[in-house]
Amino acid sequence: MQSAAERKLGFLNLHTGESLSAAYWEQGQYIPEAMTAFNRLLRDHRTNEIAPIDNRLFDLLYLLHAKLGGNQPFHVISGFRSPESNAKLATPGSGVAQGSLHMKGQAVDIRLPQCSLTALREAALALHAGGVGYYPKSDFVHVDTGRVRSW
């Protein structure tokens, strides 16, 4: 992880319309208030259940944003998913894993307005920092902090 005096991220939750841009890391430590606010924004929009998001996911998104050089917030399709929501979505052929890392706060489905989906995918793959899923028909890229793999 690169050292920076401050790390900022911005998000727009496409399901709730909520947006937030904030520094989440300063002077060598995570900012609890920002992490709480990000966790709320990335909650399961179906159940409103909030869960802690893996700090490494925010760091991965920070590096991804820096690599792409953009200034727009990430558009969030799906952050945390409760087991109930995930079970409803994980039907045969849906592409949703029954053991999805979304349920552990280790995955997010995103797009970046000024960036093509292909460029977002390629940048995520180049980080070698976790899983990268490419969903062009649904217009998003999945990134997670699991083992390095792609689909």
92-137 per-position pLDDT tens digit: 556 666 679 999 999 999 999 999 999 999 999 999 999 999 999 9
Domain 6-150 has CATH 3.30.1380: yes
CA pair distance 151, 127, nearest whole angstrom: 15
52-74 per-position pLDDT tens digit: 999 999 999 999 999 998 789 99
Of 83, 19, 134, residue with least CA distance to 143: 134
Q: What is the pTM of this model?
A: 0.92
Q: How confident is the model at residue 88 (pLDDT cuts 50, 70, 90)?
A: confident
Q: Are 94 and 111 in contact (CB under 8 A)?
A: no
Domain map of the chain by residue range? 6-150
CA pair distance 89, 102, nearest whole angstrom: 12
